[in-house]
Structure 1
Amino acid sequence: MEHEHPGVPSAGPGDSSGQSGRDGHGGTDHSEHAGHAAHDHGEHAGHSGHAGHAGHVAQFRRLFWIMLAIAVPVVAFNEMFAHLIGYGVPGGSWTRWISPVLGTVMYLWGGRPFLTGGWGEIRSRKPGMMLLIALAITVAFVASWGATIGLLDHELDFWWELALLVVIMLLGHWIEMRSLAQTSSALDSLAALLPDEAEKLDGDEIVTVSPEDLVVGDLVVVRPGASVPTDGDIVDGAADMDESMVTGESKTVHRSAGDAVVAGTVATDSGLRIRVTATGEDTALAGIRKLVADAQGSSSRAQRIADTAAAWLFWYALGAALITALVWTLFGLPESAVVRTITVLVIACPHALGLAIPLVVSIATERAARGGVLVKDRLALESMRTVDSVLFDKTGTLTKGEPAVIGVEPVEPDDEGRVLALAAAAESDSEHPLARAIVAAARSRELSVPVSSDFSSSPAVGVKATVDGGLVEVGGPHLLSRRQTEELTVGDRDADDGVTVLYVVVDGGVIGALRLADEIRPESKETVDALHAAGVQVVMITGDAQEVADAVAEQLRIDRVFAGVRPEDKAAKVAQLQADGRKVAMVGDGVNDAPALARADVGIAIGAGTDVAIGSAGVILASSDPRSVLSVIELSRATYRKMKQNLWWAAGYNLAAVPLAAGVLAPIGFVLPMSVGAILMSASTVVVALNAQLLRRLDLSPEASARAYRQ
């Protein structure tokens, strides 16, 4: 996650005491910050975009269990099924009506989703799986009643087959809907960035109001550690603003009177008074929210493979049935024509095809979750195998998103440990991200850190404290003023590459300097190398300055860099790559990444990132290890292979069984009995289920995935 800087108490708005109020801790920082983003709080109540999928999951789950319970007596008391298995139906003559009555309930109740879905496909003139299922259960229903009341041959008693059709198809669609259900809302997360209340100055009093009630010109108070309720200009006070949740920039940005601030950013160390300049739909974060909504709404929804196969099978079955009826009638066997035609239409219903894709996706998503990959959108998973460009957000994705000490430069040789220990002692009472980095560095080196007292800080200058009877100061160039500038030999004053330089001063004399920067994740280099081995272009996007981005890109051997990109322009960069003919996967973790995640062919959110980034993505990495992107590629390719294999098994059965059921081998004395066709149908379903289970053997650990692509 891009670093979130907690606030610390202060006396109130404009107060600069208590904790450090420094621009990057007063350090030398040449990186540029991305433009402001903000957010619409007009719909703070949230959204329910995922409710539709959740409703379908509940519907198919409930129907499946009810129909399964009803199917047991339908099958058990069916005379045709009893004859096939070889047992006698228990009870008297009344038991022969159990299957027809309960079978009718199953057709009208359990089959309703398929009947309405099939009618919808007819109206849209796009026949697919629903119409094929509806055709099969309707033919089975009509034929079974015909056989029950003696109008048709007893061989057409398909009540048991109707029951199995309904149960298996409900199971398949339950699994499918569950895999499609959304688990979070990006727009809800955007709304959550705003505080629930704002403190407005009304004369000399502070009144608590809803951010929605603010108007342009109002004066609001933002306390240390609090979020800015709406866009505005600072009129009093100065603070280091944590804009990482909006801009993607890991370093805090010093803002003072006259500077603009945006909704959702956090005053980390001091209070502010802000005059409102924009509210509601006019705020910058509202613009990001609109981009997310537009990108999600305009995302292409590729035609599902199974639906395509079902459409072809529909026309294949219908054509085969017509030819069967015509041929058997021409040979003067109208009764056989009816039996053969109905058998063709019932056998054509894809038991296995109905499970081929949902079962693979269900097992794949379960296996992925065990490997730290959470799949929200199955189409995103299917698309990942075609991706040829992976676009990484820099801060918090390729880098850790928080500062770390990368170098200690003492004035006197062999004084490195003392410089770091004294700096840590002076910073020990500060909550500033740079302070925490210095203290963490001292702890990691197991240094003995002295106790400090009389801590104080000065905005844009640094901190000071009494340590072992001496005055220790830590800060950037403003701390030095004219002190020893001629003799200063440490800490490059022209630091670049995103490095922040802090000087350590003891009793007026500089004893050394610390260099801090956003640390590159150790796994990032391995990730980039493995993606190159897989033939994938690696692109980096960041709001940082060009020289900062180039330094990271050079270390990681990244192919292409977009630097200085404002939050609202990230989605446009994704579109630019797509316009070049690229299939793009976007990997990010901040609010500023949300529109780009939604616009990309595949959006991948780092799990440690913000809720809004997770809500905009189709795939979520539970860890912050970028190598997990390779796991997604491997999972996508393996899943696609299983889908194709299952489709060939499922459709292959239909392609072979339909002609045999039609009687194509009748001239040599062989006609496929309905009972054999049913057994083969069940066998194909078992094969599909077993083949899908092989996905459980896939090793999706980041280490294994990276190793596989390096070999």
Structure 2
Amino acid sequence: MEHHNHSNSNNKHEGNHDHMLDNFKKRFWVSILLTVPILFHSKMVQGWLGVDFGYSGDGYVLFVISSVVYFYGGWPFLKGLISEVRKGKPAMMTLISLAITVAYGYSSATVFGLEGKGFFWELATLIDLMLLGHWIEMKSVMGASGALDELAKLMPSEAHLLKDHGETEEVKITDLKIGDLVLVKPGEKIPADGKVVDGSSYVNEAMLTGESKPVKKEKDDEVVGGGINERGSLKVEVKGVGEEAYLSRVIGMVKSAQETKSKTQNLADKAAGWLFYISLGAGLITLATWLVIGKDFDFALERMVTVMIIACPHALGLAIPLVSAISTSASAKQGLLIRNRTAFEKSRNVSMVIFDKTGTLTVGDFAVREIKALKDDYEEEDILKLVGAIEQESEHPIASGIMKKVKEEGIKVPELESFENITGEGVKGVVNGKEVKIGGPGFLKKLKIDYKDGDNGEGAETKVFVVEESKLVGYLTLSDQIRESSQKAVNYLKEQKIKVLMATGDNEASAKSVSDQLELDGYFSEVLPEDKKEIIQNCQKEGEVVLMTGDGVNDAPALAQADIGVAIGSGTDVAAETADIVLVNSNPRDISIIIEFGKSTYNKMVQNLFWATAYNAIALPLATGFVTSLVISPALGAVLMSLSTVVVALNAQLLKKSLNRAE
């Protein structure tokens, strides 16, 4: 799917919401204006005011105006009734439609000869308030989806395509193909994911990656479509278009999460279903009871209508979806992309967090500190050539550090005949006709190669071993540094009585150093991906609710096994398929934000469920009229019901403040 199609789909989605919002708004104002003459003609209202505006044929005028309100103002509810009945799932719209239809039918009958008093004014005010409630709901939902709209607007519509002779041609971004060269001038947006082939500048990717400061981009650096080029001109080779582009994947993940029903939502749906049958049964029982007692049909009908208004699960239907939409969108703005809402809700129960080390607790910006040849006929330069030939194909932070050293030394690496990434273990390839494997201590163990020299690295240092034709020929030692935010994250988690562990493929000395500095509860070193999965399984057997962080690819088994799998990464690596939550900005502090915001989200859901159900539970008996000192009219019932909806909507909006506090 091209980006244009994605944009069209998003615009269509946005257009539908705009149309629905305008539709409810228009119907509300027309109905409210028509309600004025309905109130003017109502005998009950005239009686309250102590006046009589009656004239010949006034009942027919009242009938005509009320008919317009019923069919025009009530159409969204009548249409919803048809949809729900066809699905075999009667719910809120069915209940509203039943109430207004009974009111309209009975009142119309009184105009044409049936004995009794009509209550067109209750019908009109009920429709007005229902339209107002839906209008408020639609505005809230649209507000919650604002992050998606903002993300979609980030991508420019055109690009400067570079031709063979250095000329540029203005093309639509939908016409861009992988491999095209585009020119991005200062102040312009990057039109597609790609790699800088010429130029130097600073690019603002705040809305995309959560990185607040503009990032320097030079030759061979990757850029993300939608970022703003702030200074120099850049020539960019297009690497990602359409739904493969980073922005499209982000929008897809956020939208998917918003549309996914959570466990709490399923609970709300069940409650709403039961409430419908309870309210319908209560309405019929109320009608029958008052008729048996001997009350007039109009009074009995009024009580039945009031019961149906009060019991309408409007607020209940809004309680969870609105919180879900707001939490997902607010999280996305902060670089927390929720792919699995059920896992996100579980985060409030996390009892153990297992961090990966490289690029998570540490910066992941490696520098080569030592190169050691272990064979007499090998020089340090030979080791660097072998490693450089293979690592040039890898995207791992360690590979970036090695290639930086290769460039600094001006070494020309030999041709690579084949390359394979051994997930979570290392890389291998054929160089000069020989198979070369590169990996850490755990990889050496798997190859059954034993090596000890009494120095397995210090601090946050990492060793990379080079194996040629099954023989260890040398190693490189790379240094890394602990992130400043790591200590804050660990401190917060410990304050919450959450155990903090680390699992890494690095050597014992490196793992111990990082663990000691951060005062972790424990660590596992020299582990392979399957080892991490087993570690998590063992912790879960002991009753721990485990949150695991990793890069989303190498740690796939562990992320899938964990109760909550969190992928750490930025740029085009963000769409980790196995993760429940993706952190765009590689910041361990975001783990504590997930847990804090997960708690706040769940609390808001529970508060909304409590308000919606408690309101119905208290108001329903009063609506029957059996408590003689407390008789609620249909109009008051509509007011109370709409107020409960407003309270639920406002309570959900407070989630944004919760996220700010979590930060």
Q: Distance in 2 between matches of 1:243 and 1:373?
A: 15
1:319 and 2:281 correspond: yes
606, 612, 615: which one aligns with 1:650: 615
CA drift of 1:373 comes to 9.2
Aligned residue type for 1:315: Y
6, 22, 34: which one aligns with 1:58: 22
CA drift of 1:73 comes to 3.3
Structure 1 pair 688/275, CA: closer, same or farther in 2 (3 Å)?
A: closer
Q: Distance in 1 between matches of 2:318 and 2:235?
A: 55
493, 499, 502: which one aligns with 1:528: 493
Match of 1:90 in 2: 53
Aligned residue type for 2:38: V
CA drift of 1:125 comes to 0.6
Match of 1:180 in 2: 141
Q: Which runs of 5+ in 2 are unaligned?
A: 367-402, 411-454, 463-478, 522-545
Q: Distance in 1 between matches of 2:503 and 2:71?
A: 55
Match of 2:130 in 1: 169
Structure 1 pair 272/166, CA: closer, same or farther in 2 (3 Å)?
A: closer
Q: Distance in 1 between matches of 2:6 and 2:157?
A: 10
567, 576, 582: which one aligns with 2:560: 576
Structure 1 pair 57/270, CA: closer, same or farther in 2 (3 Å)?
A: closer
RMSD: 6.6
CA drift of 1:360 comes to 10
| Contact preservation (8 Å) 1:224, 1:268 | yes
User: What are the superposed Cα offsets for residues 645-677 of structure 1, whole Å, 9 maximum, x if unpaired?
Assistant: 32234322454146x45xxx6xxxx8x699654
User: What are the superposed Cα offsets for residues 381-402 of structure 1, whole Å, 9 maximum, x if unpaired?
Assistant: 999655445999999x988989
Give the alignment's TM-score, normalised by structure 2. 0.57
Q: Distance in 1 between matches of 2:335 and 2:210?
A: 24
Structure 1 pair 630/88, CA: closer, same or farther in 2 (3 Å)?
A: farther
CA drift of 1:159 comes to 1.2
Q: Distance in 2 between matches of 1:375 and 1:65?
A: 40
Match of 1:344 in 2: 304
Structure 1 pair 524/656, CA: closer, same or farther in 2 (3 Å)?
A: same
Aligned residue type for 1:576: A
1:101 and 2:64 correspond: yes
Structure 1 pair 359/190, CA: closer, same or farther in 2 (3 Å)?
A: closer
User: What are the superposed Cα offsets for residues 215-240 of structure 1, whole Å, 9 maximum, x if unpaired?
Assistant: 67767778999998778899x87989
Q: Distance in 2 between matches of 1:158 and 1:702?
A: 47
Match of 1:681 in 2: 637
| Contact preservation (8 Å) 1:542, 1:562 | no
CA drift of 1:174 comes to 1.7
| Contact preservation (8 Å) 1:399, 1:521 | yes
User: What are the superposed Cα offsets for residues 54-108 of structure 1, whole Å, 9 maximum, x if unpaired?
Assistant: 332332233333323332332343112444x363243644555554333222111
- Structure (1/2) with the larger helix percentage: 2
134, 149, 152: which one aligns with 2:112: 149
Structure 1 pair 289/636, CA: closer, same or farther in 2 (3 Å)?
A: closer
CA drift of 1:262 comes to 8.0
Give the alignment's TM-score, normalised by structure 1. 0.54
Q: Distance in 2 between matches of 1:219 and 1:560?
A: 42
Match of 2:98 in 1: 135
31, 34, 49: which one aligns with 1:67: 31
| Contact preservation (8 Å) 1:628, 1:701 | no
CA drift of 1:177 comes to 1.7
Match of 1:115 in 2: 78
1:20-59 correspondence runs (5 A): 41=3, 43=5, 47-48=10-11, 49-59=13-23
Q: Distance in 2 between matches of 1:361 and 1:274?
A: 41
Match of 1:565 in 2: 552
Structure 1 pair 704/686, CA: closer, same or farther in 2 (3 Å)?
A: same
Q: Which runs of 5+ in 1 are unaligned?
A: 1-38, 405-458, 463-475, 480-491, 500-513, 610-623, 707-711
| Contact preservation (8 Å) 2:77, 2:93 | yes
1:227-626 correspondence runs (5 A): 264=225, 280=241, 288=249, 292=253, 295=256, 299-300=260-261, 303=265, 308-320=270-282, 322=284, 336=296, 340-341=300-301, 343-350=303-310, 353-355=313-315, 358=318, 386-387=346-347, 388-389=349-350, 478=409, 497=460, 518-520=483-485, 523-530=488-495, 532-533=496-497, 551=514, 555=518, 557=520, 561-566=548-553, 576=560, 582=563, 592-593=573-574, 600=580
Q: Distance in 2 between matches of 1:59 and 1:401?
A: 52
Structure 1 pair 275/168, CA: closer, same or farther in 2 (3 Å)?
A: closer
User: What are the superposed Cα offsets for residues 172-212 of structure 1, whole Å, 9 maximum, x if unpaired?
Assistant: 2122222222544659847956894244342x443435365
Q: How many residues align?
A: 531
Match of 1:632 in 2: 597
User: What are the superposed Cα offsets for residues 229-287 of structure 1, whole Å, 9 maximum, x if unpaired?
Assistant: 778899x879899999999999989876xxx97874999999998887x7756967599
| Contact preservation (8 Å) 1:187, 1:289 | no
| Contact preservation (8 Å) 1:239, 1:255 | yes
The higher relative CO (CA closer than 8 Å, separation ≥ 6) is in: 1
Q: Secondary structure at the match of 1:88?
A: coil
| Contact preservation (8 Å) 1:228, 1:267 | yes
Structure 1 pair 460/371, CA: closer, same or farther in 2 (3 Å)?
A: closer
